Chains A and B, each alone.
Chain A
Amino acid sequence: MPIRNPLRRQPSTTARHRILPALATAALTALALSACSAPTNNPRGPEFFDWSDVQVAADGQTVKLWMWGGDDQGNAYVDDVLAPAAAAQGVTLERVPIADTKDALNRVFTELQAGRNTDGAVDLVWINGDNFRTGKQADAWFCDWTGLLPNMNFVSDSDPLLTEDFGTPVEGCEAPWHKAQFSFVYNSATVPNPPTTVEGILDWAEANPGRFTYPAAPDFTGSAFLREVLYSVNGGDESVPSMYSDEAFDELSPALFDRLETLAPSLWREGSTYPATSEQLTKLFADGEIDMMMTYGPATLTALVENGTLPETTRVLTVEDGTLGNASFFGIPSNSGNIAGAMIVANEALSVEQQVAKADPAVWGQFTVLDLDALSATDRALFDDLPQSPVVPSFDVLSRNANPELSAEWVPALDDGWRTRIAAR
């Protein structure tokens, strides 16, 4: 009986013999890929006992700051003002311009998924709200570090804008950078007698058909407008609980959507379409298609008027019932390889010199996060002496009666409601 040599190749099965190793490789690759998704990492980051520890570790580090690159003034401030100050502390600061902050988060998540826990490409991110919450849920931020920053002494620890980021407790996982105030903007040439309340703005829009609109949710500015109107139609921010519940939503949201539904026919293009982003809204205003718009970043208005994008008669409306306020932060991914250097940059950005320079409308015009009452008289004077913008009122005027932001869970619920009730109208 012939014994079949298992090593001998059978001519008829050559093809199969060649395919099998390939299949095996593919199966192994698939196995390796599925193993990747298992959470093998438990990111923590280094430990520092005091600030001098941080300074020693930071010396010579290069910090990659990932930030939205759509604001020329902001880019120039980081490159020309913040980076040299960091260099004086022995830290090189390099800006990575991105079109969307989520890109930075995606990078961090991918690295963590791949088990790269100590040498991430993202050292520092300009964040707030949703992106912070997403990162915190994924345990992607380095935490408990802001207490070490010497310049945090001038930041109030009871300021709700700085202890919570859209309802997510900050808990030392991000350092404040500047404040922003939701603002309504109008053209004083075409709106000689501007309204003074949110309800007044909606009435004005109905009296001037086609001259007002707002960005479609879930655009950041568009959904902020939904919250403004939610407060307004329910009798102010005290009537809306910050924490989300289905009961609160069912009770309070119908008034909002009813109001927006009656408003819709008076909007730009009869509300048949909405600008998709706040940038598109700003373009409509710049082109004179609408007379009133809104922004969560009033800091950029001064420069936009100066460079001719917006008309010279652009003005910010001060609303009696107050508007939403929030703060921008610096977050450090837990897998950054330059955590100490990133802390040096965040601390430097909180210094009086940097905050004053950034608050100058000619530089960037961003509102400070420092507690002015805690500053020395000479430091305070630096802020008082800042040139006034002809377009944007000072922060204390703009933030009068400021409304707190709702917790982040409210945002998708309101956005969904808007999509089904208003957009599908």
Chain B
Amino acid sequence: MTVTTTSVTLDKARANQQQRRMPGDHGRPLTQSRGAARTLRILSTALIALWFALPFVPLALWSFADQWMHPAAFPMETGTDGLTAAIANGGGRAFIHSLVLSLVVAAIATPLGAMAARALSRGHVRFGKSITVLLFSPVMLPPFAAVLGLNVLLLRAWVPPAVGVVLVLVAVAIPYTTFSMRAAYAAYDDGFDEAARTLGATSRLTLWRIHLPLIAPALARSAFLAFVVGWSDYLITLVVGGGQLVTLPLIIASSASGVGNESSVAVLSLSAVIPPLILLGLIARSRNLDPGRQR
């Protein structure tokens, strides 16, 4: 009997602790907006949501418009002509190429960025500031100038085009992954790792069971950034890839340079927007998970 009572009180205490909130916490009276401020907040949120959603409305409409002529406000005939044309133009293959390329770029640039960020944030490297500047230089250089010159070097070195594309895109992605991981490491307490090692865990076990789970949300975010770099690139894929890698942006750009392809361009554009959105949704969900929680 007594045992159960203690466990009940324990549960209650834990529940109370979860319910207890500090005055500045979200949803407490101190942070609650009222009246005009509240209206303004809701209104601005709605406007921003509209601002992001609006471009998708014509895109979605065009995707299913077999015929849509001025001045009709809505498509006159709907169907799947756009989808058929997009597939006939090689959209399916390009989608797969884009997916593989972006995943490879993310898989390489994320750990590199994480390592660079950890070294930089722990002050392990000399000339940290200059190295930071170097790391960020791909973002600051105009890509066209850099890529054309770089491509001559890659061709001279007989680097296969697909490998060249990955190399250059990784270089472009690393500043983003490093930057996002630096923020994560600034907030990361090395004490977790130290405690695990003190308790006898090997460095590999510490990495897999303690370190990686704790920085997983940040890793996911920076992997997403690297994915988007590969996913949206046109110039590097075209110039360095030399036609070996026909990705979605290449198909979209060539398709959009003509007249009368609106519905297929819309289908292609939507298919280019949806995968990053799905990834973003997955990351937003995983951020709510507490990586340190014991199951």
Contacts and interface: CB of A to CB of B under 8 A. Distances in A.
A79 B244 CA distance: 17
Range of interface residues on B (Cβ < 8 Å): 35 or more
A201 interface: no
Given A36-B156, A303-B260, A308-B77, A69 B88 contact: no
A72 B260 CA distance: 9
B46 interface: no
B254 A279 contact: no
Interface string B138-154: 00000000001101110
Contacts of B156: 32, 36, 114-116
A68 interface: yes
A5 interface: no
30 contacts: A18-B126, A33-B153, A36-B153, A68-B254, A68-B257, A69-B257, A69-B258, A70-B256, A70-B258, A72-B89, A75-B88, A97-B246, A98-B254, A99-B254, A103-B239, A107-B239, A107-B242, A114-B151, A114-B153, A115-B155, A116-B155, A116-B156, A122-B243, A279-B257, A282-B259, A283-B259, A304-B260, A307-B66, A307-B260, A309-B262
B130 to A, nearest CB: 10
A358 B153 CA distance: 41
A303 B253 CA distance: 21
Interface in A24-81: 32-33, 36, 64, 66, 68-72, 75-76, 79
A71 B155 CA distance: 31
B250 interface: yes
B81 A307 contact: yes
A286 B69 contact: yes
Nearest to A295: B259
B251 interface: yes
B273 to A, nearest CB: 19
Nearest to A108: B242
B148 A110 contact: yes
Interface of A: 18, 32-33, 36, 64, 66, 68-72, 75-76, 79, 95-100, 103, 106-107, 110-111, 113-116, 121-122, 279, 282-283, 286-288, 300, 303-304, 307-311
B51 to A, nearest CB: 25
B70 interface: yes
B179 interface: no
B4 to A, nearest CB: 69
B66 A110 contact: no
B239 to A, nearest CB: 7
B254 A69 contact: yes
B88 A110 contact: no
